Chain A
Amino acid sequence: MEITLQNLTKIFQSKREDEVVAVDNLDIVIPSGKLFGLLGPSGCGKSTTLFMISGLLKPTSGKIYFGNEDVTPVPPEDRGIGLVFQNYALYPHMTVKQNIMFPLENIKMDKREGLKKAQEIADLVGIGHLMNRKPAQLSGGQQQRVAIARALVKSPRVLLLDEPLSNLDARLRLQTREEIRRIQRETGITTIFVTHDQEEAMSISDEIVVLDEGVTQQVGKPQRVYDKPNNLFVAKFLGTPPINIFDGRIEDGKIMIGDVAIGKSDAEDQEVTVGIRPEGFKIVERSSFQVEVEFVETIGRDTTLIIRHPDVEVQESFEDPEQEENTEEEQAAFAQEVAEELGEEVDDTKMAGIDIPQQSVQQAKTFRAIVDADYGVEPGDTVKFTVKPHKMHVFNKETGELV
């Protein structure tokens, strides 16, 4: 089922009569049978969009199509959707079986057939053995699966997931997102999910849309959006550790940071913002881009250098708000775990959990570069860099658009 959002707009009327535009003229086509991520910081309108697709919220203007059918006026119960709420909204007084059966009873399905169907779905999501438990007797991950089973049991045209992983701890998150991916593949249902966690969205989505303040920033395959960000917002939002931002300018076809030319550009001379991915630096023998290393973070496969630079912008953090609430102890414990796994293949995105040093050094106007561990760089060393052109993005200083 292909889903088309056409000029979709939602305006909330707040108490003091001022209007808040939550979703602004959204035009998106969500391809059939794919896992589609709605991604953005909190308050960007992604959940509002999801609830409009579900029918629980009525758009102020614009249309929603399921295939060729205009479902904008159709109430949620008639849209043929399955919705998984952020905190699951499992009925606490019903058993797992009763929860999953509830939608079937509402459409008056034959009881025996319904039971068979419920069991099939429960087995599919891996909770078939828990049918007689109450939600309170289940772990967070199991509740999540029950919620998915309840949403899937009536064979919806579309599956909607609101922040499906946000109530799970770090380990369960990795496991569950793979599970969601698997279930989506097996059922082939067009699935839309909302998240503020870019890593989560990128790792499982077929396609993502990045939203900010209700406006589409970019749509596309995750890798493509990462490699070719349309604007500064997208560049900053995707990637861990985040992209390094420098004040720079274009002079005679050269991209300059301070006095150093780090690349070429066809654009005319102007003040620009330069973004360089941490993995975009290459240590070389000779270069005028010469800096002193302040800290070194070793994670085995590669090394992160933390370098002080006067032209680095202090970056705002897009981290998961729940993660920020974590105590330092928890974060340190997680860092410890990761450290213990050293030597194994450690995905650098996993390092997202360790954001203590990152934040503290950001405030000290530093940037980070990920280089091969073989260089054996020590704090205090002076290194020379060149910048990989495809890892560097140049944005207009005022608009933030790609130059």
Chain B
Amino acid sequence: MEEAVYGNEKQIKRKQRIRLAIVYALVVFFAIFIIIPFYWMILTALKSYDQVFRSPPLLWVSPANWQFANFSAALEQAPFLRYTVNTVVVAVISTLGTIITTVLSAFAFARLNFKGRDVLFMILIATMMIPGEIFVITNFLTVVRFGWIREQTYLDAILAMTVPFMTSVFYMFFLRQAFKQVPDELYYAAKVDGKTDFQYLWRIMVPVALPTITTITILNAMNTWNAYIWPRLVSQQVRFQLVSNGLRDAFDDTAGVIMYHEQMAAALIVTVPLIIVFIMLKKYIMRGVSRSGIKG
């Protein structure tokens, strides 16, 4: 029933209204709790030096006094545009790699029949339990051995940052679920039509699983944008860094007083693209999250 209204005595209505008002109040309260750091970041990024270092702090700055110069100052602190390019390159390459490897393997797990399939899948799922740090230690040695660290070129840096992340057991699992929902009859029909497995995968499975692939793309790109530890470990030159590292390094206060307005301007530069992506692709991100939540 679309419109379940419960009772209509005035008293009940009043009780209901009060309850709803409380709900709104609580939601607004927590929404403010969530919003404050963003507001503070934006506000500080627009303040002048004097305004930042004022106590008590200013809670609002009129638009006429917004210091857009902070952004250019932030960009002078560190080559954020360069970092952004690096990050986008790494995101695109690792996402492409991940999608190719996971689509192929998820197809094998979902559709093909081979010896040891279920055992292998169980082993892969089990590795998801292991903390990444265990891999990181050896992976660092491995990329050193691959010659991607010493006398690092740009290509080396990109390879070191992407190749270890070109597959993912979690996304494989995720895609396999999507593939499994394609009815078997479609596969038999394709076989009868003389399609090869690869044609079937490419022409039928991939289009059907496109929403899942989109979700994976977004989640993977977001992870790259937030990646901190591994890029810091393997990028040997400042100009090869990704945004998170660049941001942290540029404003570590070991040097003395932090220029908070410039720091927040830089933080905003790093944050805004992601928020724009989120608002544009909210539907896909939420679907990915809720699905991964339900499947556990």
Contact = CB atoms under 8 A, between A and B. Distances in A.
The reply to whether A and B meet directly (CB within 8 Å) is yes
Interface of A: 12, 51, 55-58, 72-76, 78
A87 to B, nearest CB: 13
B50 interface: no
B151 interface: no
Contacts of A55: 6-7
Nearest to B11: A73
Interface of B: 1-9, 12
B1 A58 contact: no
Nearest to B4: A56
Nearest to B10: A73
Nearest to A73: B9
Contacts of B12: 73, 75
Nearest to A59: B8
Contact of B2 (A12, A58, A74, A78): A12
Contact of B1 (A57, A72, A74, A75): A57
A132 B5 CA distance: 34
B237 to A, nearest CB: 57
B5 A58 contact: yes
A52 B5 CA distance: 10
The SS class assigned to the A binding surface is loop
Contacts of A76: 6-7
Contacts of A74: 7, 9
Contacts, number: 30
A57 B7 contact: no
Contacts of B9: 73-75
Contacts of B3: 12, 57
B3 to A, nearest CB: 7
Nearest to B2: A12
A208 to B, nearest CB: 23
A73 B5 contact: no
A83 to B, nearest CB: 12
A72 B6 CA distance: 11
B7 A75 contact: yes
A92 B4 CA distance: 22
A74 B6 CA distance: 8
Contacts of B1: 51, 56-57
A14 to B, nearest CB: 9
Contacts of B6: 55-56, 58, 75-76
A59 to B, nearest CB: 9
Contacts of B4: 56-57
Contacts of B7: 55, 58, 73-76, 78
Nearest to A72: B8
Contacts of A12: 2-3
B8 A73 contact: yes
Which A-B residue pairs are the 6 nearest by beta carbons? A75-B7, A58-B5, A73-B9, A75-B6, A73-B8, A56-B4
16 contacts: A12-B3, A55-B6, A56-B6, A57-B4, A58-B6, A58-B8, A72-B8, A73-B7, A73-B8, A73-B9, A74-B7, A74-B9, A75-B6, A75-B9, A75-B12, A78-B7
Nearest to B9: A73
A57 B1 CA distance: 8
A167 to B, nearest CB: 18
B7 to A, nearest CB: 3
Contacts of A58: 5-8
Contacts of A57: 1, 3-5
A171 to B, nearest CB: 29
